[in-house]
Structure 1
Amino acid sequence: MAGKATFTLKEDESGEIVVRGEDIAEIVPDADFRFSLLILKNGDKHFVTGTKEEIEDKLEANES
C-alpha cells in the first residue's frame, strides 16, 4: 500500500482527502461496508467512501 489516492469523505461528499498508503496505520470497515475509517499514523481519522478492499486496490493501482 505505498501508492497515493484521493478519497471522498463520508460526512461531506463534496470533500476529498488525498492519502498516501504509507501514512495509513489501519483501515477499519464501517458496519454497512460502504465506508471505511482511515486511521493515519499521525492520529488523524477520516471516514471515507469505499470498502477496505476498494481502498487497498486504489492505493496499489496508484503506486509509483
Structure 2
Amino acid sequence: MSFTCRNQSCGAQWELSDVVIKNEGQGLLFRCPMCGARNYVERFESDDGTVVYEQLEGRPFQ
C-alpha cells in the first residue's frame, strides 16, 4: 500500500511504514514527511481483522 502527497508541488510517494497516521481534529491524516502537507485517509478493517487505510482525494466529510 502506498500513498501520494496531494500537495501539487510535492507529489512524493510514501509507504505506510514511512508515515504516521493520526487525528488532528479534522479526521485521520498523515503529514507528508517531505513537505508537511495534510493528506487525509480513511480506516477500514479487512475480513481477517487487518487494519487498512485508503487515501482520500480531499478532506473527509464532517
TM-score normalised per structure 2 = 0.41
TM-score normalised per structure 1 = 0.40
Higher relative contact order structure (alpha carbons within 8 Å, sequence separation ≥ 6): 1
**Which is richer in helix?**
1
